[in-house]
Structure 1
């Protein structure tokens, strides 16, 4: 979390590429020289990408160049004395600070949209903001060299980019607490064992595995996939009776769209 720079960001600072191939959009973190450490300029561009998606996009792949997915917050920015520093953010009023963090969060939270399925392709380290970026995706395909860490505690901070709820849903509150308060590294094998990984593959096979998963998603009916994502995403907040009702309503919509209302 940092306040946005007043000056225009350079291409290197932005460090995000966007490409679309039919129904598949690919977002690439592209600052490999600093292990894709994240800046407010990157978050602004990530947020802008949500506005670039055309209606035919069904799958969004989030990947990274180089040997790491993301080393997290760029500490040279966070500890600097510019407008993009933690010190400047701390000088804001409580409401202004919360509002600025809310803007940062939108760079991550759009990945949860029920209209798309999002897949993170993770190699090397995914630390702090990098871990949370992967957590905001629906699925995480890990290379066997992947390492997760929620390292905010080392800076005296908390994870604030939309990762805590998803982490808790995936591994449970006790394990989530342990991961966040220790900031320890989680190997790909452990991530697979505790439910953080959808799949773990050799590093050389990461791109192909993600492409295969995207193709499998696209093979399903678009409307059904969207409804299924919404059902599963909201399931933890519903009672059994509420979930049963949500299933009935979703199925009614599907039948109406596929076969007509019958009226």
Structure 2
């Protein structure tokens, strides 16, 4: 595994641990998830003061071209501070539970382009709420060391519908274990599913998601990164030659 240090404009360093190679098969990918799962920190090792928060998202075309986007917001005002995009390719097949192996290589590239080291990364994916308790948000947190959480539009596991008002939540369970929460971010609107990724606790994760959803169901980080990566994919002059 290769560690690349990137010092931001405030002198902080983000260390991206980029593997020298990625699994080529679903079996190898699942084995790696099992190997890395014990490294996930399910607690918050510092006071939960997040000044900057980043969102990540990716878009694809049928040939396997990937466009990834990162958007960094001021956590207090949700004002955009920085954006970046990166392009790559993937030939890893779509397998439920193995999203990370299609998206992570290009996601790491886009993080390396940032001048700002975010205090928190919000992923449009699962974290602990995953069949092997190691979704994309967990994997990204392990590779960057940055607190991460996942906000998904659908759920693995079982839950009861939360009360209709904004802020209501219920536990999300897999095999009887609490792995996340169904969280209502808009009154009367379908909940989102929040789970920790790395170096954050579930209460803090849900509080951050509510702070990022003042007007819409999805966090502002996700909404903006989604628009940016989709546009970046459309902007490629030749979808078979990433730039």
- Give the shorter-chain TM-score range: under 0.3
* TM-score (norm: length of structure 2): 0.26
Higher RCO (Cα < 8 Å, 6 or more apart) = 2
Structure with higher Rg: it is 1
Q: TM-score, normalised by structure 1?
A: 0.25
1 or 2, which has the higher strand percentage? 2
The structure with more helix, counted as a fraction of residues: 1
